[in-house]
Every structure is written in C-alpha cells, then in structure tokens.
C-alpha cells in the first residue's frame, strides 16, 4: 500500500502538501493540487485510517447499540442511521444485544469505547436502557431512540403517544365507546407510551380506560389474548400495541368466528409491509423508522461538533386506515 510519502515523491512535493490536498485545505495552488491528485489516482493511494485517527483522536466511527434487530422497527432505524452516517463520512459499527440488562449494555458500551467510537446511537427500546445509560459516562455523545433528552443523552423519538391517540380517535369517530387496548410489555418505552396515548384519548372523550391486557409483542401472545377476548366480547374495538400481536389476534378471532371489523374493529401499530395483507387488511399507525434513524444521526453530528450539546427530535406518526375498522353494529 502506498503511503503519503510515496505520493509526495511521485508528485514532487512534500508529504505535508499531499496531506493538505486530501484534507481539502485551502492554500494549495491549483497546479500542485492537480499534480498530487494525479499521483494519488495513479498509485491508488488510500489514506490509512489507523494512522489518521491515532493523531486526530477521531475514529470516524459511530457505534450502534441495538436489540431486536430482526424486528421491523429497529432494523429500519438502523438503516436510517447507517445511511446518514455513511453520507457524513462515518463508519458504522454495531453491537447487538441478545438479552437486555444493565450488564450487557455496559458491556457493549465498553466494547465501543475499546474501539474509540466518536459517538454511540442506542436503539434499545427497553426503559431500563435509559437508566443504564444515565449512569455510564461514555465520554462521547450518546443518542438514544426513545429518550427525551435527559442526563446528557440526546434522544430521537416517534411521538407514539400521539400515534395512539390518532388510533383511538379514529375508533371514537366511528362511534365506538368500548375500546380496549392490547398493550406491549410495560418495561418497553413504546409499550408505555402507546398505552398512555390510548388512555389519554379515552379519558379526553370522557370514557373509562379499563380494558387493558398486556402482551409481549409477539404474534403468539396476540393469539392467546385474542382467544380470551373472543370469549369475553367486552369491547367493540381494540387498539393493539403492534401489528404482530394484531396478526395473532386476527387469527384467534377468525378461529372463534368473531368477525373483523363486523363484530370487533382492530387497529395495529407500526405498519409493517405485510400489514396491508392481513385478513382483513389492518388499519394501523405508520412510523417512519428510517427518518428516525436519520434524525438520530443529525443529533449525533451536533453532539460531536459541540462536544456537550443534548438535543431532542420528534417524528410524527400517521394513521393508515384499512379494512379492519368500521362503525360498530
């Protein structure tokens, strides 16, 4: 591999001049710049990252700490981060969490510090994460999805409470008065926020928020809950915490002969690509996860620039109406 020195020799200048060219410094005459650039392409020179970051103390790398990467939301958020990072000239290093607990999180953070990343983006939707992060002093900017921007950790989030309100208001508008909620785990940021939105929208309409069941996000738990609800038949509409649970629920209803939306209306959350092909196609709340990822990276760049800035940004979700909801009979 050719070095700065080799390029310099070929172009008939000093290595420092070459360095200036590749770093876009001003004060390099046009002629020299061209000669150097020619030498660079002729030799196929690429700058050595290790040497560079040894002296600049910057690795040009962002660490992404993630869990549930096989899920639609986190995966797309990662994609957004990656795109924005690469566009900004950063490398993206990942650490996936198999189990989410304090120790695993600290472990991954240490892993990133070993790599001397310039910043850490956290895509771990458990509330516990934010607590663990608060006690870490990473020494580099940290941006967490779902964080409200407290304790030196920046945050980007989808306004899920609002998304839940959209869903519930849609049901209210259709005339439903008994609207239940199949919530996600309450140790997840998203699970809590969506439940809050549901509750808030109901109370704003002067209704009780008493029909709450908690699942674990999986289609399986949606199915189990669906069987129970099919037997009880207390609500005329259900706001389900995510599309996967909604899928399981639809399955259970179908088996039990409960018609959707005839007997019960169902709204999901996330709008995965498949949700429009459920039986029936699912009304749900769309979140732009890629945008969320890009916003994270924006905050990150701010943080790297300023050193200590903490920011927040909110992405608005959107209701997608399909055939799983209608007026109650």
Partner DNA sequence: GTGTGATTTGTTAGCGTTCACAATTGGACG
Partner DNA sequence: CGTCCAATTGTGAACGCTAACAAATCACAC
Interaction of residue 65 with a copy of itself, rule CB under 8 A: no
Binding mask 102-121 toward a copy of itself (x if CB under 8 A, else -) reads ---------x-xxxx-----
CA 218 to chain centre: 18
Minimum distance from residue 120 beta carbon to DNA (Å): 21
- Judged by CB under 8 A, the stretch of 8-16, 197-205, 220-228, 230-238 that binds a copy of itself is 220-228
Q: Does residue 174 bind a copy of itself (CB under 8 A)? A: no
Nearer to a copy of itself by Cβ, of 273 and 307: the residue is 273
Contact 80, 62 (CB under 8 A): no
CB 181 within 8 A of CB 196: no
Of the two residues 254 and 326, which places its CB atom closer to a copy of itself in the complex? 254
Q: Look-up: residue for tokens 């991954």?
A: 108
Give the C-alpha separation, 8 to 15, whole Å: 5
Residue 274, classed as helix, strand or coil, is coil
Question: What would the 3-class secondary structure string for 54-123 be?
Answer: HHHCCCCEEEEEEECCCCHHHHHHHHHHHHHHHHCCCEEEEEEECCCCHHHHHHHHHHHHHCCCCEEEEE
Residues between 15 and 54 with contacts to a copy of itself, criterion CB under 8 A: 46-51, 53-54
CB 50 → a copy of itself: shortest distance, Å?
4
* Longest Cα separation, the chain: 85
The one segment of 91-99, 166-174, 185-193, 196-204 that binds a copy of itself by CB under 8 A:
91-99
Nearer residue to DNA within complex by CB, 26 or 257: 26
Question: Nearer to DNA by C-beta: 18 or 189?
Answer: 18
Using rule CB under 8 A, residue 182 touches a copy of itself: no
- Residue 50, Cα to own-chain centre: how many angstroms? 30
123 binds a copy of itself (CB under 8 A): no
Partner interacting with residue 13 (select from DNA, a copy of itself, none; CB below 5-8 Å by kind):
DNA
- Per DSSP, the three-state class of 192 is helix
Under the criterion CB under 8 A, does residue 218 sit at the interface with a copy of itself? yes
Stretch that binds a copy of itself, among 10-18, 127-135, 156-164, 243-251 (CB under 8 A): 243-251
Distance separating alpha carbons of residues 317 and 320, to the nearest angstrom: 10
> Which range, of 119-127, 128-136, 166-174, 213-221, touches a copy of itself by CB under 8 A?
213-221
List all residues 6 or more positions away from 41 whose beta carbon is below 8 Å from its beta carbon.
none
Closest approach of DNA to the CB of residue 30, in Å: 7
């Amino acid at each position: 591999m050719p070095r700065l020195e080799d390029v310099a020799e070929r172009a008939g200048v000093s290595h420092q001049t070459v360095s200036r060219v590749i770093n876009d410094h001003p004060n390099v005459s046009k002629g020299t710049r061209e000669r150097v650039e020619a030498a660079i392409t002729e030799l196929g020179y690429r700058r050595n990252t290790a040497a560079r970051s040894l002296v600049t103390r910057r690795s040009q790398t962002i660490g992404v700490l993630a869990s549930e990467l096989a899920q639609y939301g986190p995966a797309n958020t990662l994609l957004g981060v990656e795109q924005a990072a690469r566009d900004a000239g950063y490398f993206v290093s990942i650490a996936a969490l198999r189990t989410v607990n304090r120790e695993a999180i600290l472990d991954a953070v240490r892993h990133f510090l070993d790599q001397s990343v310039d910043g850490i983006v956290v895509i771990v939707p458990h509330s516990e994460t934010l607590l663990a992060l608060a006690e870490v002093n990473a020494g580099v900017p940290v941006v967490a999805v779902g964080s409200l921007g407290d304790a030196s950790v920046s945050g980007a989030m989808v306004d899920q409470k609002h998304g839940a309100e959209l869903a519930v208001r849609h049901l209210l508008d259709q005339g439903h008065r008994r609207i239940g909620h199949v919530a996600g785990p309450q140790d997840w940021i998203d699970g809590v926020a969506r439940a809050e939105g549901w509750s808030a929208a109901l109370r704003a309409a002067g209704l009780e928020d008493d029909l709450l069941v908690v699942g674990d996000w999986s289609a399986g738990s949606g199915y189990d809950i669906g069987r129970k609800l099919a037997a009880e038949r207390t609500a005329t509409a259900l706001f389900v915490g995510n599309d996967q649970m909604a899928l399981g629920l639809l399955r259970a209803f179908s088996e039990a002969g409960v018609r959707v939306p005839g007997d019960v209306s169902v709204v999901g959350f996330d709008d995965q690509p498949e949700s429009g092909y459920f039986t029936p196609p699912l009304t749900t709340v769309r979140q732009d996860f890629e945008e969320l990822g890009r916003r994270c990276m924006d905050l990150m760049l701010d943080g790297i620039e300023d050193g200590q800035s903490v920011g927040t940004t909110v992405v608005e979700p959107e209701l997608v109406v399909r055939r799983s909801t209608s007026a109650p009979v």
